Chains A and B, each alone.
Chain A
Amino acid sequence: MDTPRQEPQIKIRARKLSFFYEGGHQALFENDLDIPERRITAVIGPSGCGKSTHLRTYNRIYSLHRGQRAEGEVLLDGQNILDPKTDLLTLRRRVGMIFQKPTPFPMSVFDNVAYPLRLHFKLGRKEIEERVEAALQGASLWDEVKDQLRKSGLALSGGQQQRLCIARAIAAEPEVLLMDEPTSAIDPVATLKIEDLVLRLRERFTIVIVTHNMQQAARISDRTAFFYKGRIVEVGPTKQIFTAPREKKTEEYITGRFG
């Protein structure tokens, strides 16, 4: 196992990744991007630049929608997941996802987290309880919900719901966590909590976070990729992107001149 100081392995490599919506509208143009293992990679850019679209290829979640298709390669541990032979259940077991709006399932807090556990693993009652607690601890939610585990997940506040979704995602023991603007529907205090949480999760998971909040990218990420009009303009260590961007477009975006 490598410590954070060492040069990390590359978990996901996108190569010449292009994406088309129904009717042939092209949303991504030959994206090349490396996602280092157990680091936080932030994806920033103005609305409609393709950052979410890019993220949604990593677990092929787009394949729910008719007529959407990706070209090129997305290599997860060297294996191209865009290959039609890829088993989607296995892929999604390895790559978890958090969405913009919290999406607790219509069941109790406990069952929300226990659901993926029962689905993926053969575990006894006791083990499930132990893991639900661990996942809720891991999502910094345990102290707030430990006395109301039987309550509906939908009854929690927005920030709590989002942390519940994170607990649900990490309970499945994925290797990668995709976060698609996870705090954009959540108030600032809850946002800070989630940011702290994401920083802690970095120890265990490879995290890719799409955000329209540049401060957030600066605060939590190790590397930042700047997208513009479906192309990756610049990728680099977050510090360099925000202090000494090489591209003029990046400079303009992070100083708020457009976007």
Chain B
Amino acid sequence: METIERPVVAERPAAPQADGPTLVGLGRPPYKTLFWRKLQDNLVQGFSVAALALAVGVMVWILATILIRGSEALSWDFLTTVSAPHGFKGGIGNALVGTLYVTLFAALIAVPPAICAGIWLAEFGKRSRLADTLRFSANVMMGMPSIVVGLFVYMILVVPMGANSGLAGSVALAILMFPVVMRTTEDMLMMVPDTLRESGLALGLTRCRVTLQIICRAARNGMVTGVLLAVARVSGETAPLLFTAQFAKGWPTHFFTGPTANIPVLINDYGMSNFEDLQTAGWGASLVIAALVLSINIIARVAFRDKKD
């Protein structure tokens, strides 16, 4: 068996002396009292806990209100029957289906190009002028009031088509989703270490394969989470739908050409009405959409969490 030479144990050299001031010469000065630092520590901790309690408290308050007021309306019939005017027994079935249509179609429009753009930004655009411009525009877009987006789509789609439509609502939501998905995709890809890219290239893979099969796979969970959170975010948006999808009394049979019922606009209309039965239905619809958004969030966090072990 091959043996390696033992390391040689060194003779200890004499310690060289420094010319300037030495720590030995200066000695340890008296310590400051720890009292103020600990007080500060406790204050900051107390403040953090109070802030947390406030945030959680408000959330619990909102959820509790929705739950109490909304559960009165909730029933299987409520979820499956079509909406009806004051005095008639109705549900939110058409709005629920309409919201699913509008949101899913928005995701269909926005997600593929947004992911491609995110990949381009992270892998190819990097710090180039074009990439910086794109990032800046995305940031501006994310700050754009959603009602402006609704108005814009009204101008470019509803007016030329001569009618409100679910499709127009989807386009408005897609415009809101695009920058969010693009930036989260980019962020997730940027978190993949460069050594992984280099290892792929070193094996003789093309840039394309490295990007799609290795880098995107490594970032997959984060990317899916980003998409789900964006979907959850826009599914409750009301303002962009007011001018576009608007509302319809019946089932959403004319998604591409006619107004389409949806939950946010239903809540908006019912909430502002003077009739108690409609207000109760509005609370019920709030409960449904809140539960929907919450469950998408939970699914995104739990199911697509990166597992370490």
Interface residues of A, Cβ cutoff 8 Å to B: 87, 89-90, 93, 119-123, 127, 130-131, 133-135, 137-138, 142, 170-171, 173, 196, 199-200, 202-204, 214-215, 217-220, 238-239, 242-243, 254-257
B6 touching A134, Cβ below 8 Å: no
User: Is there a chain A Cβ closer than 8 Å to B10's Cβ?
Assistant: yes
Minimum CB–CB distance from A61 to chain B (whole Å) comes to 17
The answer for the CA separation of A41 and B241 in the assembled complex, in Å, is 70
New contact pairs (19) apart from A119-B37, A120-B31, CB-CB < 8 Å: A87-B34, A119-B32, A120-B32, A121-B30, A127-B29, A130-B26, A131-B21, A135-B23, A137-B19, A138-B18, A138-B23, A171-B23, A196-B13, A200-B16, A214-B7, A219-B10, A239-B9, A243-B9, A256-B4
With A217-B7, A243-B6 given, is the CB distance from A130 to B31 under 8 Å? no
> Which listed residue (A121, A123, A170, A243) contacts B23, Cβ 8 A?
A170
CB nearest neighbor in A for B33: A122
A-B contacts, 14 listed (Cβ < 8 Å) = A120-B32, A122-B29, A170-B23, A173-B28, A173-B29, A199-B13, A199-B15, A200-B15, A203-B24, A215-B7, A242-B7, A256-B3, A256-B4, A257-B3
- B20 is an interface residue with CB less than 8 A from chain A: yes
- Are A242 and B23 in touch, CB under 8 angstroms? no
Is A90 in contact with B23, judged by CB distance below 8 angstroms?
A: no
A138 touching B31 in the complex, CB below 8 Å, given contacts A89-B37, A243-B9: no
Q: Tell me the minimal C-beta distance from A174 to chain B in angstroms.
A: 9
Q: For chain A, what secondary structure do more than half of its interface residues adopt (helix, strand, loop), or is it mixed?
A: helix
- B202 beta carbon closer than 8 Å to chain A: no
Identify the 10 closest CB pairs spanning chains A and B, nearest first: A218-B7, A256-B4, A173-B28, A134-B21, A137-B18, A219-B10, A215-B7, A121-B29, A137-B20, A239-B9
Chain B nearest CB: distance from A220 CB in Å?
Answer: 7
Nearest-Cβ distance from residue A29 to partner chain B, whole angstroms: 22
Q: Are B31 and A93 in touch, CB under 8 angstroms?
A: yes
Smallest beta-carbon distance A43→chain B, Å: 15
> From residue A237, how far is it (CB to closest CB) to chain B in Å?
9
In Å, the complex CA distance between A196 and B18 comes to 13
- Please indicate the chain A residues that have their CB under 8 angstroms from the CB of B29 in the complex: 121-123, 127, 173
